Amino acid sequence: MRICVAGAYGAFGLKHLDALANIEGVKVTSVMGPSKDKINALASQRGIAHAATTIEDCIARDDVDAVILSTPTQMHAQQAIACMDAGKHVLIEIPMADSLEDSQKIVTKQEQTGLVAMAGQVRRFNPSHQWIHNKVKAGELKIQQMDVQTYFFRRTNTNAKGEPRTWRDHLLWHHACHSIDLFQYQTGGTAVEAFGLQGPKHPDLGIAMDMAIGLKAADGAVCTLSLSFNNDGPLGTFFRYICDNGTYIARYDDLYDGQENQIDLSDVAVSNNGIELINREFIAAIRDGRTPNSSVADVLSAMQTLDRIEKSMS
């Protein structure tokens, strides 16, 4: 399997490169980034034969079977469609787009081409959330409430590496997308109720810096989601599952019970790295000719919920 990683020297592009190195039968044959010097240096360092500054140069190559897009969100729809038009399978980092309209365009193109197109909803693949999902499907747990905190300190336009961004991040269409998709995945369907509240917009960035979101599942489970770019403290996203049979706290790939005792996840998956697991699913779906978990069509319901929430705040 010959892979191109676009946006390769960004924080998540590097995570994908590291993850792919752990998967047998996979070779990164091309990388893309906006700076010629930086992408050439990365390709040389990693022993990758081809580097380019445009996605068009990469997808024109015969030695690229599939593309992982870790590029700015605003580019995702156009680039994903270009990849499929070129006959390439595509994994789109979260979120697959920053609007319902663009998300639908991606799904339509996938249906037309029959290629594997997958959205990077890594929370589905983190071993911590997989453990919960397996227990729910087995009838051993019922989620009553999911409380989620997504906190960063980003009063300037910088990325996860602390470097200047060329695009603006968004609490709703990026960070809430993780949790809304996860809640719907864990509870088995589209939220029947959804609303959002947002605080003042940043005078320079033009985005809301604080947000509260509420969701309700068909079975009565609720989700409360708090997001902020103003939090000067522990950073990241933390999940509390309040269930009929225990409380569980998920911190990325680790899981604890309500008393902070760590739960052994060694038998959940072949890796404890969610990025590696999502890449493995992408590659396996291509090889098997099947629809992947977190296909763009499956994730479209989360984008529809995001659209409803955005409209409720306008």
Do 130 and 256 lie in one domain? The reply is yes
Pick the residue with more confidence: 167 or 16? Answer: 16
The tokens for 12 are 């998540």
According to the model, what pLDDT value does residue 15 have? 97
Do 107 and 27 lie in one domain? The reply is yes
pLDDT digits (tens, 9 = 90+) for 199-209: 998 888 788 89
Element (DSSP H or E) covering residue 19: helix 11-20
- Which residues lie across from 54 on neighbouring strands? none
According to the model, what pLDDT value does residue 185 have? 98
Do 105 and 23 lie in one domain? The reply is yes
For residue 75, give the amino acid letter.
M
> For 159-313, where are the alpha helices, taking DSSP H only?
177-187, 274-288, 296-313
Do 69 and 170 lie in one domain? The reply is no
Do 93 and 38 lie in one domain? The reply is yes
| Three-state secondary structure call for residue 52 | strand
Q: Helices H, strands E: what count in the chain?
A: 9, 13
pLDDT digits (tens, 9 = 90+) for 18-36: 999 999 999 999 999 999 9
**What are the b/e assignments for 258-268, b being 16+ CB within 10 Å?**
eeeeebebeeb
Do 90 and 136 lie in one domain? The reply is no
| Number of independent structural domains in the chain | 2
- Look up the domain containing 282 and give its range: 2-122+275-293
Do 131 and 247 lie in one domain? The reply is yes
For residue 251, what is the domain's CATH number? 3.30.360.10
According to the model, what pLDDT value does residue 203 have? 84
Contact 229, 217 (CB under 8 A): no
Do 148 and 253 lie in one domain? The reply is yes
Report the C-alpha gap between 89 and 68 in whole angstroms. 9
Do 307 and 187 lie in one domain? The reply is yes
pLDDT-wise least confident of 169-173, 178-182, 218-222: 169-173
- Mean pLDDT, rounded, for 241-264: 97
pLDDT digits (tens, 9 = 90+) for 25-64: 999 999 999 999 999 999 999 999 999 999 999 999 999 9
* pLDDT of 298 over the 70 cut: yes
